[in-house]
Amino acid sequence: MYKKIYRTAMGEYKLKNTILKSERPDKVIVLKKTFAFRLNRALTGLINFFYRKGLDYQALTPEESLQMLLKTGKSYIRFGNGESEILVGLDMFTQVYSKDLKESLIKIIKDYSPDCRYVLGLTNWCLIQSVRNLKATPRKKAYKIWRFMRYMFWKLDMNKINMPFLEADMFRVGNVGLGLEKIELLWAEASHIIMVYNSENHFQRFRKRYRDKKIYFIKIPDKNFFDVLLPTQNRIIDLIKDKNINRNDLAILVSAGPGANVLCYNLCQKGNNFLCYDVGNLFYMHFQEVDTMQKKNGNDTDSAMSHIK
């Protein structure tokens, strides 16, 4: 199944029309290449030179990922290209590198076990591909993006984690992503939803779709969310207490870059035990105005690799 998805999604690289891009803040962060990053980049090239096969682990498809979330009722934390850039010491367009953030991300990976209150997602549909296949994309874009996660998979001994990894791109628009009618099953039983995001316009469109639910909005900056993570976390906990929301009737949806991983990890731990989903680009991709989507897409097709520059 994944081979078919991969071929189809890779083919979308050849579209002439501009496709929907991932979110960018009004003023992007100027990337700084630290010594640590340069060292990791060199090691990344070395590892990918000698280990060229696709990564071998319990990689779930998008449908399998959805079913696991519905079955377990656990929170969801995703590791995509942004997290891999932080892990190798590189700034993102939306988040500057931080040692504390890097160590927090590593802890989330190391703690992943059957007893934890969350499941992890990786970009399975790319990571199971060989270096040769990744480099076969125009200007080797797929390889340039996913090479760092391949390296971190080796460096952190993730092959020794005897746990399934969900598809991180299941929330995106495109061949790898699921339709919204399937995704929203994750919060179908929740009467209260807390949306943590940077755009009130997307919140209003999200709220209109779910008029039968009580939707709360926690607005965050469009970059460097990790700097305001703890105050945001406290706001969420205070809101739940003030509104007397039953945790069994609540779903927290977070789109905040790598900081979302840490927020969801904290909120689902014993003592809080809230259901929290790191939804990535879901709000941006699924709750745009139709004319905006058409203008950016040029047609009905969106690529699951459209965030690659």
Inter-residue contact 66 to 4 (CB < 8 Å): no
The residues pairing with 218 across neighbouring beta strands, listed in sequence order, are: 196
Number of domains in the chain: 1
| 35, part of any domain | yes
| 273, part of any domain | yes
| 305, part of any domain | no
| 307, part of any domain | no
Buried b (16+ CB within 10 A) or exposed e, 76-102: bbbbbbbbbbbbbbbbbbbbbbbeebb
Enter the pTM of the model.
0.87
Inter-residue contact 60 to 111 (CB < 8 Å): no
Residues 6+ apart with CB under 8 A from 239: 194, 216, 218, 245
| 302, part of any domain | no
Separation between Cα atoms, residue 22 and residue 232, nearest integer Å = 23
Q: Which domain holds residue 206?
A: 2-297
**Which tokens go with 154?**
């080796």
Q: What is the pLDDT of residue 181?
A: 97
| 309, part of any domain | no
| 306, part of any domain | no
Q: What is the pLDDT of residue 288?
A: 83
Separation between Cα atoms, residue 265 and residue 119, nearest integer Å = 10
Separation between Cα atoms, residue 143 and residue 235, nearest integer Å = 39
Q: What is the pLDDT of residue 175?
A: 85
Tell me which H or E stretch contains 204.
helix 200-209
| 121, part of any domain | yes
pLDDT of the chain, 309 residues: tens digit per residue:
555 555 455 544 333 333 344 555 666 666 777 888 999 999 999 999 999 999 999 999 999 999 999 999 999 999 999 999 999 999 988 999 999 999 999 999 999 999 999 999 999 999 999 999 999 999 999 999 999 999 999 999 999 999 999 999 999 998 899 999 999 999 999 999 999 999 999 999 999 999 999 999 999 999 999 999 999 999 999 999 999 999 999 999 999 999 999 999 999 998 899 999 999 999 999 998 644 444 444 443 333 333 222
Q: What is the pLDDT of residue 180?
A: 97
Q: How many CA atoms lie within 13 A of 289 on its CB side?
A: 6
